[in-house]
Each structure stands twice: as structure tokens, then as C-alpha cells.
Amino acid sequence: MLAIETIQQRIQGLDFHAFENNPILVESVIYQLIVIGEAAANIPQDIKQQAPELPWRQMIDMRNVMAHAYFRVERDIVWETACNNLTPSVQPLRDLLQNPLIEQ
């Protein structure tokens, strides 16, 4: 959740032009996407099954692309992911984190 919130805070009020012309911000968002994917990869399958609406595989795949193809990462894809693909995951993640069996 913290990585999603960090991304949302950092891009709030920006447009793509401002984002793509700020390499520190781009790198920060890429790093947070890697964190999200790494976390998703380390969540046990039985926990993932409690929130099947979350795009677990896509989170992991995005992490792999960001971590292993860094110099080929398209900034527009990073922007699109940050702007449109994270928000739908917020409430399901919050619900999942309410489970007392899940360590935070």
C-alpha cells in the first residue's frame, strides 16, 4: 500500500510532459513499481486467492520488466500504469490487509 500511495502522491497534479521530463521522478515511480511487484511475488498463493480481483501476475510481470529492462522501459507505460492501473487495486488491498492473519 505504501508504494501505491507514494506513487500517487508524487504524480498528483502532474501531466505526462512534467513526469517524463523529471528523471528523478520517473526513477522513483519505477522503483515503487518494482517494490509492488516484489511484494506481490512474495505473497503466498492462499493469500492471493483471497483477492482474485487483484492483478497479481501483472504486478509481478511489471516488476520483472522494470528491473531487468530498465534502459528500455517506456515512460508512457510507466505513466499509464501509475495513473490508471494502481487506483483500482487500493480498496481490494485495504480489504485484504484487514485480515488478521496477514502480517503487514
Catalytic residues: 63, 68
Q: Which pLDDT value is given to residue 103?
A: 65
pLDDT band at 1 (very low <50, low <70, confident <90, very high): confident
Q: What is the mean pLDDT of the chain?
A: 93
Report pTM.
0.90
Q: What is the pLDDT of residues 40-90, one digit of tens each?
A: 999 999 999 999 999 999 999 999 999 988 678 899 999 999 999 999 999
Quote the DSSP letter at residue 52. Answer: T
Q: Domain-by-domain residue ranges, the chain?
A: 2-97
Question: Is a pLDDT exceeding 60 seen at residue 20?
Answer: yes
Asked whether 80 and 87 are in contact (CB, 8 A), the reply is no
